[in-house]
Structures are given as C-alpha cells and as structure tokens.
C-alpha cells in the first residue's frame, strides 16, 4: 500500500503544532531520533522533516505529496501548489514598518524608497498593485535593523506582537498580508494517494470544527423552550429531554466559539439554568 508523504517544518512552533494536529487526527508518528523521514504507525503516511523554505520545492518535485507550512512561504516561493486547508494556527501578519518618527501618509510614502525584506516576491506584488516604484533590497534575517544602519527607509517583514519593531525604533504602518499555516498539495497525486489525502482532510476538518465549538447542556422551563431553541439551533436542532421535575427539560446543543459569550448571555436572559459547557474532541458531520 502506498503512503502519503507529508512535509513539515523540522523544528520550531510550526513543527510542534503540525505534529499536534496529526496526533489529534489519530495519527501517531514515531520519530524518537528526529530522523529526516518518519512513518505513521496507524495511518498510511510518512512525515518528511524539512526547512520551511524547502517544502514547496520538494512538493513540486514530487518528493513530498503534501505539506504543512505558512501561507506566506507558499506565496513567496510561487510554486504551483494548491491550498487544501487553512489550519487556524501559526498566524502572523506581514507588514510595512517605518522609523517611528516618520509620518506615514499612505502607500504613496513608499514611492522611491528602498525597502528591506526577506519576502521580495510578495512585496513586489503589493507595490505593483498600488502602482508604487521602490527599490526592493533582499536580505536574510534581522530585517528590522536595516533602517537604523542606513540600509533602507522602510522594511517589509513578519509581525506578531510588534515588540521587535518597537525595540528597533520602528512602527507598523500597513498590513499587506495575514498568514496562517496551510495544508498544501502538489498537482500530481495518483488516485490511491488522493484517497488517503481525502481521509486526512476529513479528519482535520473534524478536529478543527471541534476546536471552534463547545457542547452545551442546560436546563430550561418548557414555556421558554421555543425561545431557547431559536438561540441555539445546533448542528440540525437541539436535543430536548424531559426532566424528572414537571415543566422542565434538558437541552443539549453546540455553540460556535466566536459568539459563545453573547449566546450564553442570551440563554440566561431566556430563562436557561444550570449551564454546563464541555469541550468537543471531534466534530463529524
């Protein structure tokens, strides 16, 4: 039987999160010695550990079948890959930053400027879209020091908290791209490997839905059931079970995390009592 070969970053937070996702999908990876290639114990996959910048090329060349990496790397490398899933971790933004004492009047500020970056392709596309002509200076690492040593008048780089910019006398002025980890695939999978990928994507979706939803149990007076059910419709509809106490029912349903606290407030106002919130391990439609 063939195995689907998945390329992931060999170390760092993205590697840890990728392995955790596979583990949550029920895929156990044996790699005690951190070898380059490891096998899944209970699912037909192999894990190939690489530098993140190398992953797109390995997939395009057919050495790996799919990969988990930052969307920013996919866009920068420009390889012919398909984004299969957005994975909702390793989030960051890619931004323009300038010296803190400079006044930014919009993207026209960049006209004629020298901009230091490790992501010239993404920056070039951004400048072209805005009809800006600027000198792109590609450097590897420590982009944030470029303005202070006179190498550039602005930078384009990954920003998470902004503390590195602050410590180097810079301020973030324009967000060009919001990035997160993505599952990508090449375009040359055979039918057997595609079937394995489909099963993997099914598991990933179940895990991701579980992470963004909560299972809620509550007690409700029967005369408030219609109102409460309208607040939490559930995956199809809530489960309603009569309680031993006459005139009351137990209601079971699922609430999306993005509106969780607002929904809880609405349920309390509608008469719900004894709310119990439980995390969901997997959520399969």
Percentage of residues in the chain with pLDDT exceeding 90? 72
Q: Which CATH class is domain 213-279?
A: alpha beta
State residue 164's pLDDT score.
87
**pLDDT, mean of residues 188-208:** 94
pLDDT score for 162 = 81
- Quick one: DSSP state of residue 271? T
Topology of the domain covering 92-179: D-Maltodextrin-Binding Protein; domain 2 (3.40.190)
213-279 has the same fold as 4-88+180-210: no
Assigned CATH for 4-88+180-210: 3.40.190.10
Residue 211, pLDDT > 90, answer no
Largest Cα–Cα separation, the chain = 78
Q: Is the pLDDT score of 233 beyond 80?
A: no
What does the domain layout of the chain look like in residue ranges?
Answer: 4-88+180-210, 92-179, 213-279
Residues 6+ apart with CB under 8 A from 229: 237, 238, 240, 251
Please answer whether residues 153 and 111 qualify as being in contact, where contact means their C-beta atoms are separated by less than 8 angstroms. Answer: no
On the question of pLDDT at 11 being above 80, the answer is yes
CA distance 17 to 166: 28
Distance from C-alpha of 205 to C-alpha of 141, rounded to nearest angstrom: 35
Exposure class string for 104-119: b at 16+ Cβ within 10 A, else e: beebebbeebbbbbbb
Q: Is the pLDDT of residue 91 over 60?
A: yes
Contacts of 194 (CB under 8 A, 6+ apart): none
Q: pTM for the complete prediction?
A: 0.82
Q: What pLDDT sits at residue 33?
A: 52
């Amino acid at each position: 039987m063939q195995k689907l070969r998945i390329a992931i970053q060999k170390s760092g937070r993205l590697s840890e999160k990728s392995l955790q996702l596979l583990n949550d999908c029920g895929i156990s990876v044996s790699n005690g010695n951190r070898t380059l290639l490891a096998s899944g114990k209970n699912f037909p996959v192999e894990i190939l550990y690489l530098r993140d910048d190398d992953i797109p090329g390995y997939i395009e060349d057919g050495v790996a079948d799919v990969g988990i990496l930052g969307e920013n790397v996919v866009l920068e490398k420009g390889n012919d890959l398909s984004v299969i899933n957005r994975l909702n971790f390793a989030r960051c933004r890619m931004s323009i930053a300038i010296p803190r004492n400079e006044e930014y009047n919009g993207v026209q500020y960049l006209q004629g400027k020298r901009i230091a970056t490790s992501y010239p392709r993404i920056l070039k596309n951004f400048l072209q879209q805005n009809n800006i002509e600027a000198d792109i200076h590609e450097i590897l690492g420590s982009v944030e020091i470029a303005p202070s040593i006179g190498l550039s008048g602005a930078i384009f780089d990954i920003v998470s908290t902004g503390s590195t910019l602050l410590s180097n006398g810079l301020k973030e002025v324009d967000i060009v791209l919001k990035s997160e980890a993505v599952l990508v695939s090449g375009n040359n999978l055979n039918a057997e490997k595609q079937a394995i990928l489909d099963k993997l994507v099914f598991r990933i979706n179940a895990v991701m839905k579980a992470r963004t939803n909560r299972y809620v149990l509550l007690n409700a007076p029967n005369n408030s059931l219609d109102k409460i059910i309208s607040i939490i419709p559930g995956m199809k509809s809530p489960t309603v079970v009569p309680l031993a106490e006459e005139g009351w029912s137990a209601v079971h349903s699922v609430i999306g995390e993005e509106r969780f606290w607002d929904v809880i407030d609405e349920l309390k106002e509608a008469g719900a009592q004894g709310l119990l919130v439980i995390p969901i391990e997997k959520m399969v439609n």
